[in-house]
Structure 1
Amino acid sequence: MTEPSSELPTSTAPADVVRRQYIASADGDLEALRATLAADVEWTEMAGFPLAGTYRTPEGVTSGVMERLGRDWNDWTAHDDTYVVDGENVVVLARYTATNKATGKDIDVRVAHHFVVRGGRIVRFEQFVDTAEVRAAMAS
Structure 2
Amino acid sequence: MTETTGFHASTAPADVVRRQYLASAHGDLEALRATLADDVEWTEMAGFPLAGTYRTPEGVTSAVMEQLAKDWDDWTAHDDTYVVDGENVVVLARYTATNKATGKDINVRVAHHFIVRGGLIVRFEQFVDTAKVRDAMAA
Return the TM-score normalized by structure 1: 0.94
In the alignment of these two chains, the number of paired residues is 134
CA distance in 2, matches of 1:12, 1:32: 15
| AA matched with 1:84 | V
What is the aligned partner in structure 2 of residue 19 from structure 1?
Answer: 18
Deviation at 1:78, TM superposition (A): 0.1
| AA matched with 2:40 | V
Deviation at 1:47, TM superposition (A): 0.1
Deviation at 1:17, TM superposition (A): 0.1
CA distance in 2, matches of 1:33, 1:60: 12
What is the aligned partner in structure 2 of residue 63 from structure 1?
Answer: 62
| AA matched with 1:59 | E
CA deviation digits over 1:33-83, x for unaligned, max 9? 000000000000000000000000000000000000000000000000100
Query: Superposed, which structure 2 residues align to 1:1-140 within 5 Å?
Result: 9-10=7-8, 11-140=10-139
Gaps of 5+ in 1: 1-6
CA distance in 1, matches of 2:50, 2:133: 11
The two structures, once aligned, show a CA RMSD in angstroms of 0.9
SS of alignment partner, residue 47 of structure 1: coil
| AA matched with 1:99 | T
Return the TM-score normalized by structure 2: 0.95
Deviation at 1:134, TM superposition (A): 0.1
What is the aligned partner in structure 2 of residue 3 from structure 1?
Answer: none
CA distance in 2, matches of 1:89, 1:33: 18
Identity rate, percent? 87
CA distance in 2, matches of 1:42, 1:72: 23
CA distance in 2, matches of 1:123, 1:12: 13
